[in-house]
Structure 1
Amino acid sequence: MAYVVTDACIKCKYTDCVDVCPVDCFREGPNFLAIDPDECIDCTLCVPECPVEAIYAEDDVPAGQEVFVALNAELSRTWPAITQKKAPLPDHAQWAAVKEKLPHLER
């Protein structure tokens, strides 16, 4: 069972999770991070690091966000790996509490 980045990450892209990942399973897009399910070892280290609580175990993804399981798998096939923490997006603070951000996802 892999971990999944969900809606809360969109337009924020905090990368605190990247620094603690022992297998470099995070992939970086323009305004979102994805987890490669084939690389994730289910260590849980990334979960408490996310300031917007965007990371869940695949079986625990909140209702209505199940699409992110397939989306992480899809995007991780084409997006490059990210292995070091970066600054969040410039307007992250205004987006951190916004819900239902999927229409804002940039591929």
Structure 2
Amino acid sequence: QQIEYILENEEIKPLCDVYLSYDEKPGIQAISNTAEDLPPVAGEHSTIGRDSEYNRHGTLSLLAGIDLVTGEVIGSIEERHRSREFVDFLKKLDAHYNPEPPFPSRFRTTKV
């Protein structure tokens, strides 16, 4: 009932203009194949053939936010996982939503 009331009452203003859901995934292994994939063979293999060997290239961290209104995803892949990278990600969001300096937006973060 409360949700219906909020949707019907046009005088209620949103708390902010942008609603983002943020998450991070540190420690993603960056790997590459050592050989090209083999095409499927009719009657023998219905899918591509792939060698089980791979090259390791360290780890990466994924920082991503999804705009809950538009569905747009804004992400960043970093080589390290520190607060500096998070601050840089917030600056990237600020520049995305406010392309003209100074950046007047205020972010409220909630870790889920």
Which TM-score tier does this pair reach, normalised by the shorter chain?
Answer: under 0.3
Higher share in strand: 2
Which structure ranks higher in relative contact order (CA pairs < 8 Å, sequence separation ≥ 6)? 1
TM-score for the superposition, normalised by structure 2:
0.22
Higher share in helix: 1
TM-score for the superposition, normalised by structure 1:
0.23
